[in-house]
């Protein structure tokens, strides 16, 4: 089409070979205008021109007084009212068009959305892949109308009027040439792949130049999908993207500790490729070593190791912790549990840098046998239990190898003024959590007790019996938390006279049995430091870690060689092997 070609006297569209213009004006007939009807023709043309201009002004929402100088004539109220009745344009919602287009995308293919608005033309690029978390849903680039068509007005209202059809004084042929060239060069200009799926949306349905640009795009790109929708594009695009299936799997990043202490980070599956929004999933983890007093990082990553979201939270040690998440949209995950998690804004590289290459771990299982005296002064009895509770929490968080914990509490044979043969209570070899449950279930401290002795010998007899029945699964450690020595096997002239054990158990015999059942490490926490003549503790081979008032769970853990005095923190949770 040549610029300067004859144009329709109403809308300024080049005539070409058409007999009737798109605006409705007759361009060619077999008859000629005679002398008698020239004035009628002129009046009809002036009316058509004014009607065209007023409709363009109404479509563009122009201020009547401001736009009046640009109109070809002086419209009446009736002209404005009639234009209001005739400017409604056909619309086609964008969302179903976009949904269909996204469904047609192949792996790696790009969708380009051409948004034709009243100020500019915006190209939004989205790929057949999950968007970058935390970033915009897609890449957007805009080009003002006056860069595409420099002949258009700089004034915003005048520009809207021209886009809506008020094009008197501009070369419509040149506009058509430029729009056709823009449509043809779209892919190259915006660096779009040749196989891109194109969707165009006219944000101003019925406006002349946006409609014409859509027509040029259709001719240049026959597979173009088009919509005419005045609504905001971004919310529609967000909704459509949210409904797309995942193009890659998502997992929760967990730490795996090798036998030699080496750390390997690996995602545990949460969502699979093809999953859609509103699906929930749960992964069970455990508090990592060093996590008792530190936050753990819950990081969701894609199958291509890209961070989707991260949270920091203090995990409960010693028990499986379910981590539940909801897929809100591709690239967006909402953490449901555990409670109290806070968003962590660090990058994946920063988070992974927190993980050490290795940590100190035991290479073999361990059995820990804890004996606790239940009676005695109320404050001491309470502090003994509290110390063991803290120890169980510490072991739950710090141990990276299988561990069985036995807890036996022993009361008094004569606490109520009468002999009681059943003084040992507790549980044999369970998890730290089960040991804590057994501790909570022990009988309350009695109000009366023998001040010079406690039935530690009964607890030692139970230990010897249990250890003899079953071979050790690993090294065995004995921990005694007490205040009084055991009952003697017979009444003798001892520094602190006490009644003999009513069951006849000889604690010295069981002291010798400790070696035969493989209990090599023997530790004690006593209410008070033992005197120089109090031999039972030394005879039992117990090393006093600290008096009760100074003892801590950390000191006990270090004495057992199970906890490092300077632990290396592991920020990621451990995968719960019991769920595999």
Which CATH number covers residue 114?
A: 3.30.420.60
In a domain, 534, yes or no: yes
- Domain total of the chain: 4
Rg, the chain, Cα only: 42
CA distance linking residue 7 with residue 27, whole number of Å: 9
* 338 upstream amide cis, omega within 30 of 0: yes
In a domain, 299, yes or no: yes
Instruction: Please indicate, yes or no, whether residues 252 and 234 belong to a single structural domain of this protein.
Output: no
Instruction: Please indicate, yes or no, whether residues 79 and 99 belong to a single structural domain of this protein.
Output: no
In a domain, 177, yes or no: yes
Instruction: Please indicate, yes or no, whether residues 306 and 181 belong to a single structural domain of this protein.
Output: no
Instruction: Please indicate, yes or no, whether residues 224 and 131 belong to a single structural domain of this protein.
Output: yes
In a domain, 30, yes or no: no
Domain limit, last residue, from 243, 269, 300: 243
In a domain, 9, yes or no: no
Instruction: Please indicate, yes or no, whether residues 294 and 421 belong to a single structural domain of this protein.
Output: no
Instruction: Please indicate, yes or no, whether residues 237 and 251 belong to a single structural domain of this protein.
Output: no
Domain limit, last residue, from 360, 385, 418: 360
In angstroms, what CA-CA distances link 223 with 88, 101, 113? 27, 10, 13
In a domain, 288, yes or no: yes
Instruction: Please indicate, yes or no, whether residues 440 and 479 belong to a single structural domain of this protein.
Output: yes
In a domain, 230, yes or no: yes
Instruction: Please indicate, yes or no, whether residues 403 and 533 belong to a single structural domain of this protein.
Output: yes
Domain limit, last residue, from 46, 66, 86: 86
Instruction: Please indicate, yes or no, whether residues 324 and 470 belong to a single structural domain of this protein.
Output: no
pTM above 0.75, yes or no: no
In a domain, 301, yes or no: yes
Q: Is residue 310 within a helix (H) or strand (E), and if so which, with residue range?
A: strand 307-313
- For CA atoms 535, 536, 540, 544, the dihedral sign is negative
Instruction: Please indicate, yes or no, whether residues 425 and 548 belong to a single structural domain of this protein.
Output: yes
Instruction: Please indicate, yes or no, whether residues 391 and 312 belong to a single structural domain of this protein.
Output: no
CATH assignment of the domain containing 292 = 2.60.34
Its domain, for residue 319, covers: 247-360
Size of the chain in residues: 580
Instruction: Please indicate, yes or no, whether residues 378 and 266 belong to a single structural domain of this protein.
Output: no
What 3-state DSSP class applies to 485? coil
Which residue ranges of the chain lie beneath pLDDT 70? 1-5, 32-36, 128-138, 289-293, 318, 360-363, 400-402, 415-421, 490-498, 532-534, 566-568, 577-580
């Amino acid at each position: 089409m040549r610029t300067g070609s004859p144009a329709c006297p109403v809308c300024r569209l080049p005539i070409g070979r058409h007999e009737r213009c798109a605006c409705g004006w007759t361009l060619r007939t077999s008859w000629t205008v005679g002398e008698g009807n020239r004035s009628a023709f002129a009046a009809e043309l002036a009316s058509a021109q004014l009607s065209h201009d007023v409709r363009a002004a109404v479509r563009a929402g122009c201020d009547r007084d401001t736009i009046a100088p640009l109109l070809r004539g002086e419209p009446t109220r009736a002209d404005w009212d009639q234009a209001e009745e005739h400017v409604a344009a056909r619309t086609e919602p964008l969302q179903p068009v976009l949904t269909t287009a996204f469904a047609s995308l192949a792996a790696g293919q790009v969708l380009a959305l051409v948004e034709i608005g009243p100020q500019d033309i915006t190209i939004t690029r989205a790929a057949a892949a999950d968007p970058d978390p935390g970033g915009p849903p897609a890449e957007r680039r805009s080009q003002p109308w006056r860069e595409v068509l420099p002949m258009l007005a700089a004034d915003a209202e005048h520009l809207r009027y021209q886009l809506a059809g008020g094009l008197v004084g501009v070369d419509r042929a040149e506009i058509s040439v430029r729009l056709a060239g823009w449509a043809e060069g779209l892919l190259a200009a915006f660096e779009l792949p040749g196989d891109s799926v194109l969707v165009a949306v006219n944000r101003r349905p019925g406006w002349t130049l946006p409609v014409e640009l859509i027509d040029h795009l259709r001719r240049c790109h026959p597979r173009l999908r088009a919509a005419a929708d005045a609504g905001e594009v971004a919310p529609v695009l967000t909704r459509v993207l949210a409904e797309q299936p995942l193009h890659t799997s998502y997992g929760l990043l967990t730490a795996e500790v090798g036998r030699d202490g080496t750390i390997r980070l690996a995602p545990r599956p949460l969502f699979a490729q093809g999953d859609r929004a509103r699906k929930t999933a749960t992964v069970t983890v455990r508090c990592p070593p060093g996590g008792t007093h530190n936050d753990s990082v819950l990081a969701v990553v894609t199958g291509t190791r890209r961070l989707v979201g991260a949270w920091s939270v203090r995990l409960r040690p010693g028990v499986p912790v379910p981590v539940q998440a909801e897929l809100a949209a591709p690239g967006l995950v909402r953490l449901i549990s555990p409670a109290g998690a806070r968003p962590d804004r660090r990058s994946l590289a920063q988070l992974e840098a927190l993980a050490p290459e290795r940590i100190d771990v035991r290479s073999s299982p361990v059995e820990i046998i804890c004996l606790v005296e239940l009676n005695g002064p109320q404050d001491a009895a309470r502090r003994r239990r509290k110390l063991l509770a803290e120890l169980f929490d510490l072991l739950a968080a710090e141990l990276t190898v299988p561990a069985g914990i036995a807890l036996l509490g022993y009361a008094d044979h004569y606490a109520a003024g009468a002999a009681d043969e059943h003084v040992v209570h507790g549980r044999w070899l369970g998890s730290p959590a089960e040991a804590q449950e057994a501790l909570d279930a022990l009988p309350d401290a009695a109000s009366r007790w023998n001040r010079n002795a406690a039935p530690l010998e009964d607890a030692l007899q139970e230990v010897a019996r249990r250890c003899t029945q079953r071979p050790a699964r690993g090294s065995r450690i004995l921990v005694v938390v007490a205040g009084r020595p055991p009952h003697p096997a017979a009444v003798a002239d001892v520094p602190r006279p006490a009644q003999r054990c009513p069951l006849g158990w000889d604690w010295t015999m069981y002291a010798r049995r400790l070696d035969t059942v493989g209990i090599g490490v023997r530790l004690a926490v006593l209410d008070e430091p033992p005197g120089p003549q109090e031999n039972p503790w030394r005879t039992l081979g117990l090393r006093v870690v600290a008096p009760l008032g100074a003892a801590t769970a950390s000191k006990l853990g270090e004495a057992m060689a199970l906890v490092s005095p300077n632990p290396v923190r592991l920020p990621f949770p451990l995968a719960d092997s019991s769920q595999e």
